[in-house]
Amino acid sequence: MRLIADSDWSNKIEAMTKIRRLAHHHTDVLMASVHSVTLALISEVQNLRSQVARYAIITLADMFSTLKRSMDPELETCAKCYGQ
């Protein structure tokens, strides 16, 4: 989580890559902090660096596809973000 908050964009991408790996291979670990991870990713969706924003969207999509119903509580928050 600290890497996502870093100002260096490459650290943000690295953190999102790790989140995607957790979503695919260790969902139980990710589920422990899914809400805080989702909020961190939502803030990056609005990042001015398009590569970071794109990767945040891809990471959220991976989370929705792998975690399925566990992501339902996060759906409204994510939808508001995409609508802005």
Six-digit token string for 1: 């989580």
CB 30 within 8 A of CB 19: yes
Q: Is it the case that residue 23 has pLDDT exceeding 80?
A: yes
Q: How many residues does the chain have?
A: 84
For 1, residues 6+ apart whose C-beta sits below 8 A from its C-beta are 15, 33, 36, 37, 40
**Mean of per-residue pLDDT scores for the chain:** 90
At residue 77, the pLDDT reads 85
Structure tokens belonging to residue 43? 């803030």
User: Is 3's pLDDT higher than 80?
Assistant: no
pTM: 0.88
What span, in angstroms and rounded, lies between the C-alpha atoms of 44 and 57?
9
